[in-house]
Amino acid sequence: MRIFAATMAATVAVLIATASTAFAAPTWAPASSATIHPGVQVFTDGAQCTANFVYYDAGNVYLGQAAHCSSTSDNTATNGCDTASLPLGTPVDITGASKPGTLVYNSWIAMHNAGETDANTCQYNDLALIKIDPADVGKVNPSVPFWGGPDGLATATATGDNVFSYGNSELRGGVEQLSPKQGKSLGDTGGGWSHEVFTATPGIPGDSGSAFLDKDGKALGILSTLEVAPTPGGNGVGDLSRELSYAASHGASVTLAAGTEAFSGPLLPL
């Protein structure tokens, strides 16, 4: 089990702005040539996940991944309040980057440090931020591949609404046609902390952390769990608005970057 060093946390915390999220957006690389964007693969101590959205503050650009991607426990451990993680400052390899990024926020670590006890928060708050090295910021575009967007931050979704995602698990062997996903919201759970979804091809190991958009192309959440019940093949998607609010209240105030490419809408008439 790793020990969360208070000195390391304090040192890394200065990398993240802690005041307002009203930051000016950076200049992004064109979507057609950007090598760092939502959906790229990220590797933390060898564990592969899929990046979700791009975020920024006054001086840095960040790529999101699931907090559990840096867990030191097995894949069945999903409660962030009683599961250990690699420390802040851990390097993260980003596909398309020339240098590793740095883990600068992890909701599981934040909950440990805060002594969080709310059961829903502990179970579903699953967001981490990777600071992109300044040498690679010029390679970033925030648009979700295939779908475009995000066009703002979603706050709710209704049962039966379309949802959209882009997974990138190594288990697909690089078959890009299997990466875009469209499906339906099955409703909320965990007091609104999680959205249950079912997609035409469900998320699989390695898709963890990938972005989900709502029917209007707004950022809904990030893939957190693979369901075996009540809907086999369904997925649990952590609510991004709650996760970002928690991050801001625990020293990691960032702005979600809007996509430069317009949201394309449904692919299938589901």
Residue 207 lies in a domain: yes
Contacts of 25 (CB under 8 A, 6+ apart): 56, 255, 257, 258
The C-alpha atoms of residue 73 and residue 128 are separated, in whole angstroms, by 16
Q: Is the pLDDT of residue 233 over 90?
A: no
The C-alpha atoms of residue 104 and residue 156 are separated, in whole angstroms, by 28
Across 164-168, 174-178, 257-261, which has the greatest mean pLDDT?
Answer: 257-261
Say if residue 133 is in the same domain as residue 188.
no
Say if residue 131 is in the same domain as residue 175.
no
Domains contained in the chain, number: 2
Say if residue 90 is in the same domain as residue 131.
yes
Please count the other Cβ atoms lying within 10 Å of the Cβ belonging to residue 7. 7
Residue 131 lies in a domain: yes
HEC profile of 17-75: CCCCCCCCCCCCCCCCCCCECCCCEEEECCEEEECCCEEECCCCEEEEECHHHHECCCC
Say if residue 195 is in the same domain as residue 70.
no
28 close to 260: Cβ distance less than 8 angstroms: yes
Residue 246 lies in a domain: no
Residue 206 lies in a domain: yes
pLDDT band, residue 6 (cuts 50/70/90): very low
What kind and span of H or E run contains 11? helix 6-13
Please tell me the predicted confidence (pLDDT) of residue 2.
Answer: 35
Please tell me the predicted confidence (pLDDT) of residue 178.
Answer: 67
* Chain mean pLDDT for the chain: 87
The C-alpha atoms of residue 78 and residue 96 are separated, in whole angstroms, by 29
Q: Tell me the average pLDDT across 147-171.
A: 90
Residue 209 lies in a domain: yes
Please tell me which residue, 10 or 192, carries the higher pLDDT value: 192
pTM, two decimals, is 0.88
Please tell me the predicted confidence (pLDDT) of residue 171.
Answer: 61
Q: Examine the fold and report which residue of 143, 173, 202 is the final residue of a domain before the chain moves on.
A: 143
Q: Examine the fold and report which residue of 143, 175, 202 is the final residue of a domain before the chain moves on.
A: 143
Please tell me the predicted confidence (pLDDT) of residue 174.
Answer: 58
Say if residue 166 is in the same domain as residue 137.
no
Least confident of 37-41, 64-68, 223-227: 223-227
Say if residue 132 is in the same domain as residue 233.
no
Domain extent for 133: 6-143
Q: Tell me the average pLDDT across 72-76.
A: 79
Q: Tell me the average pLDDT across 209-215.
A: 95
Say if residue 30 is in the same domain as residue 95.
yes
Q: Supply the CATH number for residue 106's domain.
A: 2.40.10.10
Residue 253 lies in a domain: no
- Strands 61-65 and 128-131, bridge-based pairing: antiparallel
Least confident of 26-40, 69-83, 135-149, 249-263: 69-83
Please tell me which residue, 204 or 144, carries the higher pLDDT value: 144
Please tell me the predicted confidence (pLDDT) of residue 16.
Answer: 41
Residue 156 lies in a domain: no
Please tell me which residue, 111 or 19, carries the higher pLDDT value: 111
Q: What percent of the chain has pLDDT above 90?
A: 73
Residue 254 lies in a domain: no
Say if residue 12 is in the same domain as residue 139.
yes
- Residue 269, Cα to own-chain centre: how many angstroms? 27
